[in-house]
Amino acid sequence: MVRDSNRKEKKDREDSSEFSDRLVAINRVSKTVKGGKRFGFAALVVVGDQRGRVGFGKGKAKEVPEAIRKATDQAKTQTLRVPLKEGRTLHHDVRGRHGAGLVVMRTAPPGTGIIAGGPMRAVFEMLGIQDVVAKSIGSQNPYNMVRATIDGLKKEVSPRIIARRRGKKLSEIVVKDEELKELPA
């Protein structure tokens, strides 16, 4: 029993060390009290392993480093695995939404790079995507943009998963470029 808990603790330490994090936003917030104002900080952090796992978290505290630590801890507990095409881009175009924020993400050919702004770029870099074109429509609030991006990434499905769901082979689902040329127009 003790041995199993030691293994679990060791695994947790290994998992936490493989993540890198990116601070997306830091806000100074204040609370008005009888004697004046009390200042605190709110942080938004995105973590990922650059191999298809990403998560975000937010933390609040009186000091900046403590807020960042809390946000990072929360992000590590809320990671999401996203299937990547060739380990560098999305399998298909996808849209994500949260509140008034709408994000459109498109797959891109090799060498395109990350064409996305601010908070979306942080999510893609932590995820390990190298080629993607993304556009944010609506809210520019970093919290909503990160949530909308994560929402869109949750909808990402690989052809292998679709084939397994349908009970077919991958070759029956995916059409190769040579086969496309042979099809009548």
pLDDT single digits (tens) 130-156: 999 999 999 899 999 999 999 999 999
Residue 166's identity, in one-letter code, is R
Answer yes or no: are the C-beta atoms of 150 and 105 closer than 8 Å.
Answer: no
What value does the mean pLDDT of the chain take?
A: 87
Q: What is the pLDDT of residue 185?
A: 61
**4 — pLDDT class (breaks 50, 70, 90):** low
DSSP code of residue 96: E
Helices and strands, counts by H and E, the chain: 7, 8
Q: What is the pLDDT of residue 108?
A: 92
Residue carrying structure tokens 């996305």: 116
Bridge partners for 22 per DSSP: 46
Bridge partners for 94 per DSSP: 105
Beta strands in the chain (DSSP E): 20-33, 36-48, 53-61, 79-81, 94-98, 101-107, 114-115, 132-138
pTM of full prediction above 0.95: no
From CA 55, how far away is CA 51, in angstroms rounded? 12
* Residue 178 clears pLDDT 70, i.e. is over it: no
From CA 101, how far away is CA 140, in angstroms rounded? 7
From CA 60, how far away is CA 7, in angstroms rounded? 31
* Residue 13 clears pLDDT 50, i.e. is over it: no
From CA 58, how far away is CA 147, in angstroms rounded? 11
* Residue 18 clears pLDDT 70, i.e. is over it: yes
* Residue 95 clears pLDDT 70, i.e. is over it: yes
Average pLDDT over residues 21-40: 93
The domains of the chain, with CATH numbers, are: 2-80 (3.30.160.20), 82-173 (3.30.230.10)
User: What are the CA-CA distances from residue 180 to residues 174, 175, 176 (Å)?
Assistant: 11, 7, 6
Number of other residues whose CB lies within 10 A of the CB of residue 169: 10
* Residue 164 clears pLDDT 80, i.e. is over it: yes
**172 — pLDDT class (breaks 50, 70, 90):** confident
- CA torsion angle 79 107 88 178 (round to 10): 130
